[in-house]
Amino acid sequence: MKLSDKKRLQIIDAAVDLFSNNGVDATSMDIVAKVAQVSKRTVYNHFATKELLFAAVLNHMLANVEGNEQLNFEPTITIDKQLIQIAQAEVRLLTSDAFLRIARMTFIQLLQDAQLAQTLNQQHIGCLGALPNFLAEACQHGLLSIDDLELAAKQFVYQLKSLIFYPLLYGIETPNQQRYDYLIEQTVELFLARYAAKTT
């Protein structure tokens, strides 16, 4: 690794900790330089503004978050079991330290920067990006009946976010795997009550 690349990574690593622990607004480029053990000039050579540094930090953190796995519909497995597996993977992502760290770091910034919200929305972290195609295949096999695949996918994921992710993010609840398992089961039951194909 070139010295320039090494220093850039030092800056990003320092900013990750500072932004996560103190907030973006409360972190100056001077503090970043000090923690990264580089000169202030070096910081600005790599990142002309704190906004650019924040974008680099966010991209770095997102790249290290697992959750963009492929969803492959399996005709030999019942649809409820497949949806439970998808929900379990999504909950593991939503409750992971890495994902929560990103969420806490970006929360205030999202209120101030509408473009950031669009950028994060386009990342499709987790199952949301691939879920509509999975649901389409389940419909083709006669297991589900869905007119609006995008809406159904959001209903599935947002239910998990509302019941599990946001209470954890806001500190309203503490991690509880037994409760997660129950909420996953209830989410899948509710989803199938709405979208399971009617049998004659």
- Give per-residue pLDDT as tens, 16-58: 999 988 888 889 999 999 999 999 999 999 999 998 899 899 8
101 lies in the same domain as 190: yes
Residues 48 and 109 in one domain: no
Residue 162 CA to residue 168 CA, distance in Å, equals 10
Residue 71 placed within a domain = no
pLDDT of res. 116: 73
Q: Higher pLDDT residue, 111 or 144?
A: 144
**Are 39 and 136 members of one domain?**
no
Alpha-carbon radius of gyration of the chain:
20
Question: Domain with 148 in it: what CATH number?
Answer: 1.10.357.10
**Residue type at 174 in one-letter notation:** T
Residues 11 and 84 in one domain: no
Question: 148 by DSSP, 3-state: which?
Answer: coil
- Note the pTM of the prediction, 2 decimals: 0.84
Q: Are 107 and 24 contained in the same domain?
A: no
Query: Residue 34: which H helix or E strand, with range?
Result: helix 29-36
d(CA 52, CA 54): 5
